[in-house]
Structure 1
Amino acid sequence: MAMTPWFVSGPAAWLAAAGLWRGPERIEPTPAEDWRDARIDLVIAACRDQATIVHCLAGLAAQTLRPRRVLLVDDGGAERDHGIQLAREFAIANGLALTVVQRTWSIGKAATLKRQARGFAGDVLFVLDGDTVLASPDYIERCVRELYQGVGIASACGTVEPLRPRHRRALAASPAFQRWLAGDDYRDPLQPRDVIDRIAAAIADGYTAHVDRLRQALLGRGLMNLHGGTGEPSGGAIAYRRRYLKDLFDRYEPVRGDDLTAADDLFIARALAMEGYRSIRLDDVVARVRTPPLHQLPRQAWRRAVALMQNDHYFDPLLRSPLSALRHRWRRLYDPVVTPVAGSAGDRRRVREAYRQPFGERLTHRQGRPLGRGLLLLALERAGYPVALLAAGLVCGWGAAGVLVAAEAAATAL
């Protein structure tokens, strides 16, 4: 579930609008590696995804670039469903080489990523959730191609949209899906049963689509134009450089174990940013994700908000980037002992890359990262909006607080 800032018209949105107006950095990359030579391994993380696992595999079967290995990990544990059996039947019907791992006890998605990052020997580890469908047939190809546009790019993903009933019907009519059915009728288990269910599903899909559009098209694209990356990738279908992911787990496993906060994708993106790597999002490829039921949206939103605040705490050097940058600039101007940071050669590089930064966590503590500006503004909004709302209610009356909420709702709707 996506999370927007509290203030749609707040400082983070204005900063993103400035990024949209300025546009991306115009440097023609000259990558040293060819993306066509990349060895791609794909892992599907499933946990009680029986209703969507076949749709997920149908989207994978339509990809223009196939991974050399597909591993399905069922982490449902004692509460697992029949998704593994359906996936095996689909793979046999379509000639898909599928390896299945079924766990007796659920150990979480982070442990799955850690084991595959260390166990696989490929160049790219593509992580796909069992409730996510690759709607664009060139999704994997585009992500891998953009991943290899620079060594500073650690992960790439597309945009996320809700998986609506009409999308599931279109997938059910695809040739791969029909080969699995072998002439049998198919009844969608997620199809609303009555009018009330249809209305609730439409509200949930509409809300999620609106939030995703705001988060990705405004905040995500604007901050990417400014900083070259995003601190909140679209979870569900992400391509990682496997070596970077392995190094990340080697760094944080002694500290965090397999507990990467309430959102693994957020933790990984922040940890990569601490090293100077970038996580990018592509606008021209789409993945569709199953929307939670309407009554579960508040719980999902709260879980995501907690994960954001946890990551703000664990990676606070990123949020202190503006202050670190000012301190570093002051020292470079007035301290003759300070030497230039490696990586400032700019146009003298033979291998050119947009938004290139020097790597290393030490440099993040020393001079910050450009992404930290946007993350700091978003964190201040998340902490400041409830305080402002409470202050408006106590000082100016709850009518003023209602006006504040109404203004924010109107800005969100627009």
Structure 2
Amino acid sequence: MSRAPWFVAGPGACWAMLGHLRPPDPTVPTPADDWRHAVVDVVIPVCRHHDTIVHCLASLLVQTRLPRRVLLVDDGGIDRDHSLQLAREFARANGIRLETIARGWSIGRVVTLKRQSREFEGDVLLVLDAHAVLESPDYIERCIRELYQGVGIASASGRMLPLQQATRELVETSEPFRNWQGDDHYADRRRPENRWQAALQRMSQCYHEHLAVLQQDFLDAGVSRADGGVPIGSGGAVAYRRRYLRDLFHRYEPIREDDFTALEDHFIALALMNAGYRNIRVPDVVVRAPAPSLLRLPERSRRWTGAFLQLHHYFDVLLRSPLRRLRLSRRPQHDDAAQWRPGKGERRVQEPYRQGFGERITRERGRPLGTPLLLIALERIGYPVLLWALVLAGQWTALAIIVALEVLATCFIAARFASGPRLRAALQALAWTPVRYLLIAQEPLALGWFAIRLWWKRDLDWHVRRDPTGRRRPRAIRH
């Protein structure tokens, strides 16, 4: 699920606000291929999802655009449950062909995506989480249509919101679900057993809905309007150009093998951006996934921050790209793209938002999305450190002013970009302020642990080096 940016009128929030204020880009998309002819394949990694797999498949069958192939890969290993059995029963009840793979041991989600990007022959690969429910019936159709608006678009995903009990009950009334259920009574094991569990579940859903407004509706939407893409697309259901995904694994497998950090979808998004592609979000379609419990937020926040720092360490060239663009802006003004001769695997195509397509062009001229990435990284690292520095220095007045400005900015943004009542959104932002600041307070722990690993163990990037062209290549492992 989404995590809130640290505002305080920070640079990332200001960049997104400038994106919301600018007029729409007048560039008319010129699709090279017709999206209606695209062949779509779906891969669903499964790992102990017996409570959600039927709902996921039922929402897939009511889509206006059905895929050609659907593959379920059970990676549970020796801890496997009966998710695969339920999926097969559901497929037989609805008369659909479902391909399944059951692994004897768990080898990870990355291996699943790598193998299917190479073995499938379709044009689009939709990676669907087994616990996700496609709420919009035209989710696949809209994602494919936007994916084919330009050759430089590598992935498309919709808005990701927390899964509510009402959504699950709506899926249970669909025809595919009733075909599987028959005359039997369905007992939903995810339904809260008492009022206390129901209250905790509702609180978690409200919190993540609030984060979705801040992260997706404000920050990502503003950055997309300014730069033509989102820094990191949300998971749940992401449509990739299969060929781009295959080429990505061909490149990074010799370097990373199957270690794409704990946030493999974020690694893929940054790797695609590093190659000059764009990841977009379709704001008018929704996928829902269960929200993690509030009691697990501190642990998840620490793990997310560690993976976030590790990814930005791997793709530091993205963070340095704004500096390259500043140096280029001081040169005499001329059209570099017009003088560029397309090389191998590269096209001189003018994409929407005036973004060049091709790794060599973006390496020389800078990545447009590198600027918001750098600003967001500085904001996430600098704001918690600033708060702790003020606390240790005893500057309570300055601390109170900064926190008050941040809370006011958060309430204003939540009220401005929420789809529901604005007063309610502002009150929710105010109510969740203590939770956000408890998570912010522990950020320096993750930052310190990352710095220790980077300085002492040097195990984050020591097994790769750069060749003269700037690409990374493996080298001998130290002993």
| 1:402, distance to aligned residue in structure 2 (A) | 5.6
Distance 1:217 1:77, change over 3 A: same
Segment of structure 1 superposing worse, 357-366 or 153-162: 357-366
The answer to whether the 8 A contact 1:317-1:368 is kept is: no
CA distance in 2, matches of 1:195, 1:278: 44
| 1:400, distance to aligned residue in structure 2 (A) | 5.0
| 1:102, distance to aligned residue in structure 2 (A) | 1.0
Instruction: Provide TM-score, normalisation by structure 2.
Output: 0.81
Partner of 2:410: 412
Structure 2 counterpart of 1:311, which letter? L
CA distance in 2, matches of 1:295, 1:23: 42
Distance 1:224 1:125, change over 3 A: same
CA distance in 1, matches of 2:324, 2:76: 44
CA distance in 1, matches of 2:80, 2:360: 43
CA distance in 2, matches of 1:164, 1:210: 14
Structure 2 counterpart of 1:302, which letter? R
Partner of 1:167: 167
The answer to whether the 8 A contact 2:348-2:358 is kept is: no
Q: What secondary structure does 2:367 align onto?
A: coil
Structure 1 counterpart of 2:377, which letter? A
Distance 1:343 1:296, change over 3 A: farther
Q: What secondary structure does 2:126 align onto?
A: strand
The answer to whether the 8 A contact 2:8-2:402 is kept is: no
| 1:146, distance to aligned residue in structure 2 (A) | 0.7
Structure 2 counterpart of 1:373, which letter? T
Partner of 1:265: 265
Q: List per-residue Cα deviations over 1:251-274 (Å, max 9, x = no partner).
A: 111111111111111111111111
CA distance in 2, matches of 1:222, 1:320: 21
Alignment gaps of 5+ in structure 2: 412-425, 427-479
Partner of 1:106: 106
CA distance in 1, matches of 2:171, 2:367: 42
Aligned residue pairs, count? 408
1:48-63 alignment, distance < 5 Å = 48-63=48-63
Alignment gaps of 5+ in structure 1: none
1:146-161 alignment, distance < 5 Å = 146-161=146-161
1:366 pairs with 2:388: no
CA distance in 2, matches of 1:172, 1:343: 56
CA distance in 2, matches of 1:296, 1:187: 26
Distance 1:190 1:406, change over 3 A: farther
Partner of 1:141: 141
Structure 1 counterpart of 2:164, which letter? R
The answer to whether the 8 A contact 1:220-1:230 is kept is: yes
Distance 1:315 1:297, change over 3 A: same
RMSD: 2.2
Distance 1:329 1:410, change over 3 A: closer
Q: List per-residue Cα deviations over 1:16-48 (Å, max 9, x = no partner).
A: 111111143121112121011111111011111
Distance 1:194 1:411, change over 3 A: farther
1:78 pairs with 2:56: no
Q: List per-residue Cα deviations over 1:197-239 (Å, max 9, x = no partner).
A: 1111111111111101211110010000010011110101010
Instruction: Provide TM-score, normalisation by structure 1.
Output: 0.93
Q: List per-residue Cα deviations over 1:145-168 (Å, max 9, x = no partner).
A: 111111011100100111111111
1:315 pairs with 2:325: no
Q: What secondary structure does 2:352 align onto?
A: coil
Q: What secondary structure does 1:130 align onto?
A: coil
Q: List per-residue Cα deviations over 1:345-374 (Å, max 9, x = no partner).
A: xxxx99764124333434444321111111
